[in-house]
């Protein structure tokens, strides 16, 4: 199985320091839907691992989150793409859960759900916690400049050996070209 793990906010869709709180605020980044569709057509199993502490903070509920993901699925279908699983953490830091990145819980759930190994699985994110979660399970961390990516680069922490791409589409172009 060819598996890829994507963070959501800042990788697939626009991010906000005030949280994405509604389907109306869920706006795909340019080229991200087409990139996911290309991955799907290339035979990838596509999983999303996303911290959604806005639920724990009371900014939106699970029904609203599901509507955001339904919007994503509908928009992907137009491009011939799909996501095979969305894994989210609804908790805040104070909850001390195991699923909130940088802890590995979401990625371990993905591993179990798809009955696969995580060694060298690309895990695309825009923050240090995405990279740390990927490393903790043996996945291959990839940083994009979109979302909080530029801030992550500016801090310069934990980036040793991490390739950096302008956006998800740029990474997918390189990944699929390497497979040819």
Please tell me the number of Cα atoms within 13 Å of 163 on its side-chain side: 13
Number of C-beta neighbours around residue 103 at 10 A: 17
Ramachandran area for residue 38 (φ above 0: left; ψ -120 to 50: alpha; else beta): alpha
Whether 9 is catalytic: yes
**Candidates 7, 15, 126, 130; catalytic one:** 7
Whether 7 is catalytic: yes
Q: Which CA distances in Å does 97 have to 56, 65, 70, 106, 125?
A: 12, 19, 26, 11, 20
The 2-6 sheet, strands edge to edge: 85-89, 44-51, 2-6, 122-125, 140-144, 164-165
Residue 89: phi, psi to the nearest 5? Answer: -110, 120
**Candidates 9, 15, 109, 126; catalytic one:** 9
Complete DSSP assignment for 140-177: EEEEESTTTHHHHHHH-TT-TT--EESSHHHHHHHHHH
Question: Which residues form the catalytic set?
Answer: 7, 9
């Amino acid at each position: 199985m060819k598996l890829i793990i994507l963070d959501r906010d800042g990788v697939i869709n626009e991010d906000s320091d005030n949280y994405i709180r509604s389907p109306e605020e869920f706006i795909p980044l340019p080229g991200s839907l087409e990139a996911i569709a290309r991955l799907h057509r290339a035979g990838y199993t596509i999983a999303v691992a996303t911290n959604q502490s806005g639920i724990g903070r009371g900014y939106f509920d699970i029904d609203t989150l599901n509507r955001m993901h339904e919007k994503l699925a509908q928009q992907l279908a137009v491009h011939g793409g799909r996501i095979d699983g969305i894994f989210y953490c609804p908790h805040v830091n104070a909850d001390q859960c195991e699923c909130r990145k940088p802890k590995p819980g979401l990625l371990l759930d993905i591993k179990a759900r798809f009955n696969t190994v995580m060694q060298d699985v690309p895990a695309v994110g825009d923050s240090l916690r995405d990279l740390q979660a990927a490393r903790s399970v043996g996945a291959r961390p990839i940083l994009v400049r979109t979302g909080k990516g530029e801030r992550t680069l500016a801090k310069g922490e934990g980036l040793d050996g991490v390739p950096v791409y302008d956006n998800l589409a740029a990474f997918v172009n390189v990944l699929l070209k390497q497979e040819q």
